[in-house]
Amino acid sequence: MARMTMIEAIRDALDLAMGADDRVVVFGEDVGYFGGVFRCTAGLQRKYGPTRCFDAPINESGIVGAAIGMAAYGLRPVVEIQFADYAYPAYDQIVSEAARLRYRSAGEFTCPLVVRMPAGGGIFGGQTHSQSPEALFTHVSGLKVVVPSNPQDAKGLLLSAIADPDPVIFLEPKRLYNGPFDGHHDRPITAWKAHDLGEVPEGPHAVPLGQAVTRRPGNAVTVLTWGTMVHVALAATEETGIDAEVIDLRTLLPLDLPAIVASVSRTGRCLVLHEATLTSGFGAELAALVQTECFWHLEAPVRRVAGWDTPYPYVHEWNYFPGPARVGAALRELVEV
């Protein structure tokens, strides 16, 4: 085991994948020589050369379009969209080409492509550097969508994504890139210490796609969440003393529905927590699934806590985040029903 930040774990996964398979190529804006805006690819061009790790023009559609062609011809490209907010110019390529290639060709071609995107807030990036667009990709048949919450999973899930024969959207929470974060902006979330996952296995380490994990067992209410909000949920349960079960989904597509059903059927209550905008967020799909699959077990309506339905604020981002106070209040309301 080695102590790593999420940035280091992602870099380690890319290094291992490139070393094991010369079909793996890594590229994107500033990815090669500079090593990426967040330094996730630092040193890879020097180690593997400019044909394996290289810079691309500021053209997200071109980056993903070129990668789709590479994947169709047998390479395994891993591309970085500098911020998830910049994915929209590439959305047509992802949806109309990458996600459809296997089906459209009757299996003759596949698209083993990973699109890495730093996502979410926490760096005062404002409305064009802080979005969480996972719902835009979970709506697309043919894609897989992954959001790690810690360095260990970041490495294991990324290695599994690179090995996958189909396109994977890999969203990396920027707020978690460098380790424990300040959930209240003025004091640390102590739950991180109790659930510290900064220890990362050295060498090959795969975390299967489509498997959720219980971060905290409980009997009073189930919290379904992913990414940064896993740690907010843990902090809220610690501060309220409510016996909540915190489920880290890790993979939104494919979704581990059996794990969700088992937990909610036992607790009888469910809170869905995400950083992205509330309206039409992925939490709505989860709420609908819980309502359908667990109706006769529910003791209270399914509750959602999410980001505000506004463009992402710059000055007030710590109010925009669903923090432990908002989550704690929702948990109290649920258990009182």
Residue-wise DSSP of 177-230: TTS---TTSSS--THHHHT---EE-SS-----TT--EEEE--SSEEEEE-TTHH
Give the tokens for residue 282. Answer: 């992925």
DSSP-assigned letter for residue 132: -
DSSP-assigned letter for residue 98: I
Question: Which residues does 249 contact at the CB level (< 8 Å), separation at least 6?
Answer: 147, 212, 224, 225, 226, 255, 256
Nearest to 12 by CA among 168, 199, 143, 231: 199
Which listed residue (129, 195, 205, 274) is catalytic?
129
Any catalytic annotation for residue 129? yes
Which stretches does DSSP call E strand in 92-139?
114-119
Distances (CA, A) of 210 to 160, 200, 206, 284, 329: 11, 20, 12, 19, 30
**SS3 label, residue 113:** coil
Q: Centre a 10 Å sphere on the Cβ of residue 190 and count the other Cβ atoms it contains.
A: 13
With contact defined as beta carbons under 8 Å apart, do 87 and 64 qualify? Answer: no
Write phi, then psi, for 75 (nearest 5 degrees): -80, 170
For the chain, the distance separating the N- and C-terminal CA atoms, rounded to the nearest angstrom, is: 44
d(CA 110, CA 72): 6
Residue-wise DSSP of 250-272: -EEES--HHHHHHHHHHHS-EEE
d(CA 32, CA 21): 18
d(CA 243, CA 266): 13
- Residues with a catalytic annotation lie at 129
